Amino acid sequence: MLTLTCPCCGVAAEETELAPGGEAHLKRFGPGASDEDFEGYLFARKNPKGVHFERWRHAMGCGKWFLAARCTATLEVFGTYKAQSPEPPPEIIAAIKARRPDWKGYS
Amino acid sequence: MSEPISALAGKNAEGFARVSEAGLQGMITLRGNLASAALAAAVKAATGCALPGNRGIHTKAGKAAAWMSPDELLLLVPYGEAEATAAALEAALAGEHALAANVSDARALFRVSGAKADQVAMKLCPVDFARLPQGEIRRTRAAQVAAALWRSAPDEISLVCFRSVAGYVFDLLAISARTGSELAPA
Amino acid sequence: MSTRLATGGRLIDRSKPLSFTFDGRSLGGFAGDTLAAALLANDQMLIGRSFKYHRPRGILASGVEEPNALVGLGQGPRFEPDQRTTTTELFAGAATVSQNAWPNLDLDIGALNNLAYRFLPAGFYYKTFMFPRFAWKHLFEPVVRLSAGIGRVPKDRDADRYEQAYDFTDVLVVGGGVAGLAAALAAAKGGQRVLVLEQTAHWGGRAPVDGIAINGMPADAWVAETVASLAALPNVTLRRRTMAAGVYDHGYVVAQEAVADHLPGADLPRHRLWRIRAGRIIAATGAIERPLAFAGNDIPGVMLASAARDYVVNWAVSPGDRTVIVTNNDDAYRTALALHDAGLVVPAILDARAKAAGELPALARARGIRVLEGRGIARVKGGKRVKAVEVCAQAGEGAVLETIACDCVAMSGGFSPVVHLYSQPGGKLVWDAANGMFTPDPARAPTGADGKPFVTCAGAASGALQAADALADAHAAGGGEAAQAPRAEAAAEAPMQPVWMMPQGAPAKLRFKMWLDFQNDVKVSDVQLAAREGYESVEHTKRYTTLGMASDQGKMSNINGLAILSDALGQPIPATGTTTFRPPYAPISFGAIAAEARGEIFQPLRRTPMHDWHAAAGAHWEPVGLWRRPYCYPRGGESHSQAVNREVTNTRQNLGLLDASTLGKILVKGPDAGRFLDMLYTGVMSSLPVGKCRYGLMCSENGFLIDDGVVVRLADDAWLCHTTSGGADRIHAHMEDWLQCEWWDWQVYTANLTEQFAQVAVVGPNARKLLERLGGIDVSKEALPFMAFTEGTLAGIPARIFRISFSGELSYEVAIPASHGLAFWKACLAAGADLGLMPYGTEALHVMRAEKGFIMIGDETDGTVIPQDLGLGWAISKKMPDYLGKRAQERSHMTNPERWKLVGLETLDGSVLPDGVLAPAPGANPNGQRATQGRVTSTYFSPTLGCGIAMGLVRRGPERIGEVLEFVAAGKSIPARICDQVFYDKSGEKQNV
């Protein structure tokens, strides 16, 4: 059972206090978008073995959403950061690179 | 006007700690920019308390201001003052983006008291109570429902939950406090 | 025979005799006994019958690894099957029964299976019952079921209570043996929080039994001193009777404390499940002795050498008068010494090694004990008890050299470190060929949230089997400096020699009787058969043969089974690998997993402020989410349907009162609130005038309808959004998700005020009269028209009144502070008595909304329905450039004219259609099933119309009004005509008076 530190309130919350929200950094496509873009936004989800970016809500806590960078194979947590991040911030990228030198980077 | 009644009308139970529903408690949810001077002034006017920092709770003369999230406070005032205080906050913050709502009736407040009060809460909440100092409010879950708790006195934990589950939470606390089920090392 | 010795027994208190029963026979023991020790003291070696062959089985071990000696324990509501006698503390009045034997333990009919062992090999069930398939269900399964499983399922509700507790620690030490204590002491000196768990009631583990000296004092004294120093430290917590069952991600550990197993009937929680979060875990879990595989190694009286020693030293129980020791290592000589020193006879030590020249063999020889080198057991003679062993050369094929009479055999095949807690979260093992064991590979330890190792094995669990090494290792694991490590003095041990089969060239007839897994009746021959049949993967072999399954979890059978499989496959043991260790290490109770979540508090039950009134009024309840709402209020001898009909008719003709407090109420406020709500709802909410109400639909980004409700404009910058009952939390979370994660620069705050207000629907032709009587707010048609709202003081209580209708009647929904909810409800009842006021429940609400053709989220919607399917186009803005779900609703599948759409349905004979039934269509669907063209989504008897009414989704439904569809229920065809879904007051004049 995971523990993630909520960057909004600082609590190291266990999984039962959190609600998962799937893949992070999705770009919304609305009316006017092509079928392909909309399909990608709505359905095509990454499922990597290794570094992954996820949305979590501190549901039984401060109620805020946040993002986590985590290894899906070892469950190592590279960092948590604000939900208001269009892409992983540099310090998170650096933390991942330090631990996973051959990681290809965020795409 | 009819007399208002709290969720459990002050029900209590005795075990290795005392569990009681604390009756009517004025509570106001205040959402806004916690960095705003106007908001800090309004909170001070409403409660006499300075703005608490992350997860802090400040108490003064029966009133309190508690940090709930980066843009939300919970203010505790006497029950009869809550409606007027909420209105005063709305008025004081009319110039900025804020929301003040009286939530006194949406909640239930419990007190768990006694030297072993922590042990009651340890059975229900995934919280490291040994590292929860006085002056900190912790939002978590109690068994299956959301709760917020803090040390309201050296041997007392206060716990807030939603009104509809007050009966559930009371039963949880009472069964967890039953004499003989202390967590004392064997 | 086994018996109680006159003196000794470090764990028993002879001044406290206890009586208990086994299969109805009254027996005696002492405080401090385990059930197994007490049974042995009464010469009860035969405890049960084996799973598959019903072979007589006795006590093999003295701890948690015991596979055989399981009993049914307790009576009535405290009965529990499969209780391990070796870990159950004896208590006064313990009632135990043997298992898997009929009519009784001594004369067991099922033992006929034993004669048929050649016909019940590995995979027997798998092979035999595959074909023909029908025979499994009708012929084989009923027979197999009768003989499957061990023990009897309890019949009564469990009388005990259980609980859980959370704990946090920097260092968790699992195991209170000398290694665990040494590690804990070292770790505690650093000032960190240390929690030590010991699964038994006693500290010290094996060291006191083995006669080890530590720091110049007997192990017992060192243990007492160390426990006392640990207990005195404020940063250390010690818990006995607490078994760490599993280690999971990020230092999460589940452990079960047996609080009151030994105190049944005391008013205590029986078990407590600890949910521990540890920074670091030191698994000082020791090592478990392995059996040797020789013919007849399962006959009662054959036990582990360490267990025989435990029974003598700990409980003063002699496992037999004459005990033959058979071993491949020096440790078993300690058993010979202990037995000999207790005055028992050890006729011989059979040592499989060619030479036994160490310190311990010398001590045995000095006592005059015969040591036979290079020898093993060809066969154990006996049925329900060992009678003799036939000695053979280990190097040979089993030719009998000598027969030695004995009633006990103490065997030792070496030790396996208990690596379960290290392996469960992903730690990898390495093979130690010299000692014939898997040990933790420090280079591949399980890693935690920070990517660093978080489980360390210490002492014997890490492979340090000698006491001195174990203490040094554990002290280091706790972070202590080498110079300060406790020093152990013990006799030096010569190397062991792995022995996987005895004798090494045993022919088939011996291999048929060599047990690897005693609990699951898996023999050497079974594993060899699996290998011959192509089961090369250890995981496949495990499943094919059932080796190491159930509560064994590899404790006894793992290594011997792997070795036999490797030998059969002609590959080294590391190439075969080991099966996965899974939690729990030893069984934990369902009660502890459920803990407080039973009875009244199984789930949170949400109550409205009027809940108790409803209960007193005899409400029949309906669960709605976690809420309980009155379904109806039966009066006199009314059936539920009679009550519903009365409530509907009374509301339509007079006046009804509904507790609508469960409706979600979310305040949305801010400069961008209108813009936000326009994105959230399919209709425009920003244009709603202050003081007005508007019905709104919410969709997911998939386009599917997720919620509906009335939105009220409270002020210029504030809206109140009503959600469905039970939907408030979900919709509030949905709002916050979009606000926080997508439109975070919009200035909007939300607050879930659902429980701040009680809400009461006042419904019916007399509704206005009632509110006028309560007084304080002008509720006239002019002052408060349909779809408007007002606030003020009603009946002396601050109130908001929304003039909205879910029934088609003149209707007001009144919101008052929850603390006044009950008072307001009672005030309505008092004032409305002569207006024909009656409360009504959710079913009447449903009937009335269906009569009006209003949809209900969860009935008409199921996560695949878009608003356009429901004829709700009027609530969808054509002008808004965007709203959640709009793009999805433009997808070709969503705009397909073939979609099923909402219509009304009326049966030709006026009967009520069954709920959820389908209307078949000609042909088949792509799965070859009968095609369908429609489904009933809501169906009721309408007391207003005197017939059944229904709504349903039908392919191109609205284009087919007047057509008759055949619905099929239980093979019967029911014709129903497609019609308009509004059955009552189509023009809406009743609500608009």
Q: How far is B3 from chain A (nearest CA, A)?
A: 33
Question: What dotted CATH number matches C161-287+417-489?
Answer: 3.50.50.60
Which residues in chain C are classed under CATH 3.30.1360.120?
616-662+756-849
Express as a percent the part of chain C with pLDDT over 70: 96
Share of chain C above pLDDT 90, in %: 87
Cα distance between residue C904 and residue C960, in whole Å: 11
Rounded to an integer, what distance in angstroms lies between the CA atom of residue C72 and that of residue C63?
A: 17
- CB-based contacts of C704, cutoff 8 Å, min separation 6: C861, C863, C864, C865, C866, C885, C888
- Chain C residues with CB under 8 Å of B166 CB are 607
Best of C162, C166, C261 to disrupt the B interface (most B CBs within 10 Å) is C166
B183 falls within a domain: no
3-state helix, strand and coil shares in percent for chain B, rounded to the nearest 5 = 25, 35, 40
CB atoms within 10 A of CB C575: 11
Q: Which residues of B touch C818 (CB under 8 A)?
A: 105-106, 163
C164 at B interface, C-beta within 8 A: yes
Task: Say which range, C121-125, C422-426, C639-643, C858-862, has the weakest mean pLDDT.
Answer: C121-125
Q: Which residues of A touch C881 (CB under 8 A)?
A: 31
The amino acid occupying position C135 is: A
Question: Does B182 reside within a domain?
Answer: no
User: Does A105 map to a domain?
Assistant: no
What is the residue type of C39?
L
Residue C144 is predicted with a pLDDT of: 60
* Partners of residue B70 in chain A, C-beta under 8 Å: 8-9, 62, 64
CATH class belonging to C616-662+756-849: alpha beta
pLDDT recorded at residue C141: 64
Judged by a CB distance cut-off of 8 A, whether residue B101 touches chain C is yes
Number of compact structural domains in chain A: 1
What's the CA angle centered on C271, arms C267 and C274, to 5 degrees? 130
Mean pLDDT of C457-480: 97
pLDDT of residue C842: 98
Q: Is A103 on the interface with C (CB under 8 A)?
A: no
Query: Quick check: B123 and C596 CB within 8 A?
Result: yes
Task: Output helix, strand, coil percentages for chain C, rounded to the nearest 5.
Answer: 30, 30, 40
Query: Residue C701 and residue A42: Cβ atoms within 8 Å?
Result: yes
Residue A66: give its domain's CATH number: 3.30.2270.10
Residues 441-500 in C contacting B (C-alpha not used; CB under 8 Å): none
Chain A contact for B141 (CB, 8 A cutoff)? yes
B123: closest CA of chain C, how far (Å): 4
From the list B70, B126, B138, which residue is nearest A64 (CB)? B70
Which of C274, C444, C741, C891 is most worth mutating to test chain A (most A CB atoms within 10 A of its CB)? C741
Q: Which of A3, A26, A58 to mutate to test the interface with C (most CBs of C within 10 A)?
A: A3
- Mean pLDDT, residues C34-63: 92
CATH number, domain of B81, equals 3.30.1360.120
**What CA–CA distance (Å, rounded) separates C45 from C62?**
13
Give the global pTM.
Answer: 0.95
Check whether C119 has a pLDDT greater than 70: no
CB-CB under 8 Å, C239 with B186: yes
Pairwise CA distance, residues C196 & C192, whole Å:
13
Tokens 């207006």 map to which residue? C835
Of A8, A13, A60, the CB nearest to B70: A8
Q: Looking at the complex, does the CB of residue A75 fall below 8 Å from at least one CB of chain C?
A: yes
Q: What's the pLDDT band for B186 if we cut at 50, 70, 90?
A: very low
Please tell me which of the candidates B99, B123, B171 has its beta carbon nearest to residue C749: B99
Quick check: helix, strand or coil at residue C171?
A: strand
- Per the listing, tokens 């009552």 go with C984
Contact list in A for residue B146 (CB cut-off 8 A) is 59-60
Nearest residue of chain B to residue C200 (CA atoms)? B186
Contact with chain B for residue A3, Cβ under 8 A: no
Residue C129 banded pLDDT, cuts 50, 70, 90: low
Residue B161 lies in a domain: yes
Average pLDDT, chain C: 94
pLDDT mean over C959-973: 95
**Are B165 and C238 within 8 A, CB to CB?**
no
DSSP string, C158-177: P--EEEEEEEEEEEEEE--B
Question: Which residue would you say has higher pLDDT here, C927 or C117?
Answer: C927
Whether residue A77 lies inside any domain: the answer is yes
More confident residue, B16 or B1: B16
Residues whose CB falls within 8 Å of the CB of residue C498, separated by 6 or more in sequence, listed in order: C328, C414, C433, C436, C563
Q: For the domain C895-993, what is the CATH code?
A: 2.40.30.110
Is the CB of A9 less than 8 angstroms away from the CB of B146? Answer: no
Whether the upstream peptide bond of residue C503 has omega within 30° of 0, thus cis, is: yes
Q: Which chains touch B (3 or more CB pairs under 8 A)?
A: A, C
Residues of chain A neighbouring C249 (CB-CB closer than 8 A): 1-2, 75
CB-count burial class (<10 Å; 0-12, 13-18, 19+) for C829:
middle
* Binary contact (A9, B55; C-beta < 8 A): yes
Report the topology of domain C3-126: Ubiquitin-like (UB roll) (3.10.20)
Decide if C53 touches B, using CB distance below 8 A. no
Kindly determine whether residue A14 and residue C740, on different chains, have CB atoms separated by under 8 Å.
no
CB within 8 Å of C146: residues ≥ 6 apart: none
Q: What is the mean pLDDT of residues C56-65?
A: 95
By percentage, how much of chain B surpasses pLDDT 90? 97
What pLDDT was estimated at residue C658? 98
ipTM exceeding cut-off 0.90 for this assembly: yes
CATH topology of domain C499-570: Arc Repressor Mutant, subunit A (1.10.10)
pLDDT mean over C463-480? 96
Q: Is B178 on the interface with A (CB under 8 A)?
A: no
Name which CATH class applies to C291-413. Answer: alpha beta
Q: B141-176: per-residue pLDDT in tens?
A: 999 999 999 999 999 999 999 999 999 999 999 999
Chain A closest CA to B68's CA: distance in Å? 6
Distance CA C829, CA C836 (A): 10
Yes or no, beta carbons of C667 and B127 under 8 Å apart: no
Question: A residues 31-60 near B, CB within 8 Å?
Answer: 59-60
Number of A:C CB contacts under 8 A? 70
Residues on chain C touching B6 (C-beta within 8 angstroms): 819
C179-205: pLDDT as tens digits: 999 999 999 998 999 999 999 999 999
Interface of A with B in 87-106 (CB under 8 A): none
Confidence of residue C208 (pLDDT cuts 50, 70, 90): very high
Is the distance from CB of B137 to CB of B146 less than 8 angstroms? no
How many angstroms from the chain centroid is the CA of residue C44?
A: 35
State the span(s) of chain C assigned CATH 3.30.70.1400.
664-754
Answer yes or no: are the C-beta atoms of C905 and C951 closer than 8 Å: yes
Interface of C with A in 54-73 (CB under 8 A): none
Instruction: State yes or no: cis peptide before B70, omega within 30 of 0.
Output: no
Q: How confident is the model at residue B1 (pLDDT cuts 50, 70, 90)?
A: low
Whether pLDDT at C169 is above 50 = yes
Using the structure block, give the residue that is written with the tokens 């490797």.
C566
Say how far apart CA A99 and CA C425 lie, in whole Å: 20
How many separate domains does chain B show?
1
Residue C606 to residue B164, Cβ atoms within 8 A: yes
Per-residue pLDDT at C744 exceeds 60: yes
CB pair distance less than 8 Å for B54 and A17? no
Nearest chain A Cα to B147, which residue?
A60
Window B:48-67, CB contacts with C under 8 Å? none
CB contact under 8 A, A9 and B126: no
Q: Do C741 and A74 touch (CB under 8 A)?
A: no
- Establish, for the pair of chains B and C, how many residue pairs have beta carbons separated by less than 8 Å: 134
Question: What pLDDT, in 10s, does the model give residues C801-825?
Answer: 999 999 999 999 999 999 999 999 9
Encoding tokens for residue C634?
Answer: 């039966």
In which domain, by residue range, is A56 found? Answer: 3-99
Residue C628, pLDDT above cutoff 50: yes
Q: What is the CATH number of domain C664-754?
A: 3.30.70.1400
* Contact with chain C for residue B186, Cβ under 8 A: yes
Q: Is B133 on the interface with A (CB under 8 A)?
A: no
Full domain range(s) for residue B58: 12-176
Contacts of A76 in chain C (CB under 8 A): 447-451
Which residue among C249, C702, C733 sits closest to A75, beta carbon to beta carbon? C249
Does residue A107 lie within any of the structural domains? no
- Residues in C touching A14 (Cβ below 8 Å): 252, 277
Is residue A106, in this structure, part of any structural domain at all?
Answer: no
Evaluated on CA atoms B84, B85, B88, B90, the torsion sign reads negative
